[in-house]
Amino acid sequence: MPYLIDDAIYTASAISILLGMIGLACVMTWPFLRCLRRVIVVQSVGAVAFTLQFSVLGASTAAVACGISLAQLLIALTVRDRGVRSALNIARLVTLLTLVLFTWVGIASLFAASGGIINMSARNQPSPMRMKTVFLIGSPFWLAHNIMGGALSALTVDLISVFTT
């Protein structure tokens, strides 16, 4: 895993760049969609792309956090019962914390895990404004992780989120 942006530029593989561009395109597209199902589908494609990109980059904790966010999106798309959804939210949090222990590589993992947990909370907010606010709170953790991990497309997503929220 590259640890600085300079290293990332010189060591990026074509597949990593492609996956990052797909994820970035999804993040830039979904705000313009009007149908919630389409929004969730496009966000899910982005989550898959970033999960795979982080895997290619060797950022396993970030890959796990993105994979868990994909599960959260799929639950939002398919589960209507609030009680079941709440139980699944708790299970997702426990799963993330457990997988963080197995993928721990130091401070980068701390940033990815913190960002992932905060983003989980954001997706459960009752209003769009509160959701955006909580996502904004999580942004510095992902910014730090993506700078350390050399995930340029993910870093671009973070910067877009900070400046447009």
Q: What is the pLDDT of residues 42-69, one digit of tens each?
A: 999 999 999 999 999 899 999 999 999 9
- For Cα atoms 126, 163, 39, give the angle at the middle one, nearest 5 degrees: 45
pTM, two decimal places: 0.84
Q: What is the mean pLDDT of residues 25-38?
A: 88
Question: In whole angstroms, what is the distance from residue 2 CA to residue 58 CA?
Answer: 8
47: its two tokens:
């989550």
CA distances from 60 to 18, 48, 77, 113, 127 (A): 18, 14, 26, 11, 31
Please report the pLDDT score of residue 11 as a whole number: 56
| Structural tokens at position 75 | 């639950």
